[in-house]
Every structure is written in structure tokens, then in C-alpha cells.
Structure 1
Amino acid sequence: MSRQNVLSGSPWEDKMGYCRAVKIGNVIEVSGTVAIVDGETVKADDIYAQTKNILDRIANVLAGLGASMSDVVRTRMFTTDVSRWQEIAKAHGAVFGEIKPTTSIYQISALISPEYLIEIEFTAIVDGGRG
């Protein structure tokens, strides 16, 4: 099976030895993703906006791999404030309401930087005829 790595251009990819996404066969795994536009955090106090930004960015990553959000079978959401789960759910549900991947949401003590309120990982499986 061939392996396709997707790099985001972050200097941390080489330092830590990771990439944004990996596709092997028909499986795509997407690294934990935070909300960034042009190197800047998206609305550091708005967890809905951060969630939406992540979902939009990953939709583009998946498209580049011949997949779409409808191919997502699992999301894992890590937040520093689970009491704001309804805001997260609103953004997640707008994308995945009909798709309904399995999902988990975890409260953690911190993310890589304090302005990040949420980080999401994705697993997608593409139709063998498409990917």
C-alpha cells in the first residue's frame, strides 16, 4: 500500500516528526488540529469559531486526499473547558449532523498554547473506488 503524507508547512512537523494527515490505502488519519488562520489563532475566546475553523480546514485537507467530511468515521475532540460543549456541538453538528461519525470529547488541562480552546483529530475511510 502506498503512503501519502500531507504537510501543513509548520516548522514543528520536522522538529516533532509528524504531518497534518496520513493516507494509507483507504484510511486517512488527521493529526490533532487547532484553529489557525495565517499563523494566528482564530478568536481566542470563541470556541464555536475555533471548532468551525478546524472543521473547514480539515475539509480542505480531506479534499486534497480525494475524501470529504462524509468519509469521516471518527472525531476526537479535546477541550480545556468541557462546560462549553454545546458551542462545540453546534459547530460539529452543522457539519456532521447527517453523517454522524463516532465521536468523543475530552476535557484536558491544557493544549499546546493557552489561546487554543479545542483540538480535533479525525479518522476517515474513503471508498476504494474514489481514493
Structure 2
Amino acid sequence: MPRRIEHTSGTDWEAEFGYARAVRVDNTVRVSGTVAVEDGETVAPNDPYGQASHIFEVVDEALDALDASPEDVVVTRVYVVDFDDWEPIGRAHREFFGDVKPATTLLEVASLPAPDLCLEIEVEAVAKDA
């Protein structure tokens, strides 16, 4: 079964932890849990909508690198530090996916790697043949 790994998105965490931003095996694409960090700094600190929007940009790049698109996404998992942030996060999710409507899980977690991070998102897609 051929395995393709996207080149790193540049975070220190990928190198230090030893993982890929996204992996494709056959037609299945999995994008690792992604937070709103760029160049070691939190993007849109304490802003759930801004962070979700940024995360979806990173997810879109990862999907594209592995010949997939948002239309191929079948599952998202959203980890939040405050469940009350569901509305702005949901708005960013809805804007990114439009009519695709993947199955989704929203879970509250105790913390994320930095205190100003609001959420982490992971994605699974079933892509067309590359």
C-alpha cells in the first residue's frame, strides 16, 4: 500500500514529536491535529473564529499537497478548551466546508500546548484517485 507523507508545514512540533502534517494511504488522507500557530507564535490569540479560520487554511494546504480537497473530507474532530466557543468555531467550519457537511465531533479538553490556543482540529478525507 503506497504511503505518501506531506512535507512538513514548518512547525517545530512536527520535527520534535516526529509526525507528519498529513498522511495519505491509498485514497484515505488524514490531517494531524492542527492548532493556530505560525512561526512559533499563536495566530489570533484567544480568538476561536480567527484560530479556526487559520487552521482550515493549513488543512486546505495539507489536503492539496496530497491531491485532496475540502470536498473529500468525511470527518472532522474539533478539540476546544471552552465548549462555549462552539458558535464562532462552527461558523468557520461552515464557511470552510459549505455544502460538504462532514461528520463532526466536538470535544472539550483540559488544555492545549499554549494558554492562548482555543482549539485543535483533525480531519479525515477520502480522495479520488491521484
TM-score, length basis structure 1: 0.92
Specify the code of the residue in structure 2 equivalent to 1:55.
F
Conserved? CA contact 2:82–2:118, under 8 Å: yes
Structure 1 partner of 2:2? 2
Separation in structure 1 between the aligned mates of residue 48 and residue 58 of structure 2, nearest angstrom:
15
1:31 and 1:115, CA in 2 relative to 1: closer, same or farther beyond 3 A? same
Structure 2 partner of 1:63? 64
Aligned pairs for 1:89-128 within 5 A? 89-128=90-129
* Number of positions where the alignment pairs a residue of Structure 1 with one of Structure 2: 129
Separation in structure 2 between the aligned mates of residue 95 and residue 13 of structure 1, nearest angstrom:
24
SS, match of residue 89 in structure 2 = helix
Specify the code of the residue in structure 1 equivalent to 2:2.
S
Structure 2 partner of 1:19? 20
Is there any run of 5+ residues in structure 1 with no aligned partner, and where? none
Aligned pairs for 1:9-88 within 5 A? 9-88=10-89
Shift of 1:43: 1.4
TM-score, length basis structure 2: 0.93
Residues 75-114 of structure 1 deviation map (CA, whole Å, 9 limit, x = unaligned)? 0000001111001100001112300000010011101111
* Greater CA drift, 26-35 or 10-19: 10-19
Separation in structure 1 between the aligned mates of residue 79 and residue 119 of structure 2, nearest angstrom:
6
1:15 and 1:39, CA in 2 relative to 1: closer, same or farther beyond 3 A? closer
Separation in structure 2 between the aligned mates of residue 57 and residue 49 of structure 1, nearest angstrom:
13
1:11 and 1:38, CA in 2 relative to 1: closer, same or farther beyond 3 A? closer
Separation in structure 1 between the aligned mates of residue 17 and residue 63 of structure 2, nearest angstrom:
22
Conserved? CA contact 2:11–2:39, under 8 Å: no
* Greater CA drift, 66-75 or 13-22: 13-22
Which structure 1 residue ranges, 4+ long, deviate > 4 Å from structure 2?
none
Identity, % of aligned positions:
40
Is there any run of 5+ residues in structure 2 with no aligned partner, and where? none
